[in-house]
Amino acid sequence: MSEGEGRAEIHHAHRDVNGGWLRPSVFGAMDGLVSNFALIAGVAGGTASTKVVVLAGMAGLAAGAFSMAGGEYVSVASQRELAIAEIDVERRELERHPEAEQRELAQLYESRGVQPDLAAEVARQISLNPAKALEVHARAELGVTPGDLPSPKVAAVSSFLSFSVGAVLPLLPYLLGVTSLVSSAVLSCLALFGAGALVSRVTARSWWYSGLRQLVVGVVAAGLTFGLGHLLGGGV
């Protein structure tokens, strides 16, 4: 048998169901876009002062970005600390009760349809390498890989940047000297549709459906906020 004949042919490929870097980046940007577009629309509905609108937009960008970064840092750090603590528990169990852990691993493979004798042999071979055994146990029991835990700093910086990118778009026309909400709304709508269409790369929906869905969500949020601002501060 040749080397090529011994390999299984793969006739299909799967998309990354977790979305990889694309998902958190795009959703972070959309969060910033929708929230700041709605904020700017609400303030513009309540006042004719461009300075007030710009100040509100800048405050919304800064507050949202720092809040996202801080929240993401604490969340990921807590998740990482919990994972490390549980991995240490599994490591101690492997050191103190290797036979029991090996049987547990064999039972895991049996529960997935592997014949008992083969499952026991696979578990035995994996258990010969303590590092590999820990990795397999952690992945099977905790759903994490010891050497591939998320970084709180990377998560915080990514959230800060992605939110800021989204939040600055509805503010950009005002920063360039345009004093009308219409320009901000047009740019925001285009960005909403584009971000939604980009999300279709990690979903089963078509690009136009994802784009329209995100556009509708953003427009409804901004419209309601504009109406509220107009009612509460009209003529200010």
Residue range 88-124, pLDDT digits in tens: 999 999 999 999 999 999 999 999 999 999 999 999 9
The Cα angle at residue 57 between residues 226 and 24, in degrees rounded to 5: 95
- φ/ψ of 112, rounded to 5, equals -100, 10
pLDDT bin (cut points 50, 70, 90) of residue 35 is very high
pLDDT bin (cut points 50, 70, 90) of residue 9 is low
Between these two residues, 14 and 68, which has the higher pLDDT value? Answer: 68
Specify the pLDDT at position 147. 86
**Helix H or strand E encompassing 122:** helix 116-127
Q: What is the dihedral of CA 171, 22, 72, 141, to 10 degrees?
A: 170
Specify the pLDDT at position 10. 52
Cβ–Cβ under 8 Å, residues 41 and 225 = yes
The Cα angle at residue 77 between residues 198 and 201, in degrees rounded to 5: 10
Lowest-confidence region among 81-85, 92-96, 113-117, 201-205: 201-205
Spatial distance between the Cα atoms of 87 and 146, rounded to a whole number of angstroms:
7
* C-alpha 229, offset from chain centre: 31
Average pLDDT over residues 162-183: 94
pLDDT at 21 over 70: no
pTM for this structure?
0.80
Specify the pLDDT at position 19. 42
pLDDT at 193 over 90: yes
Specify the pLDDT at position 234. 58
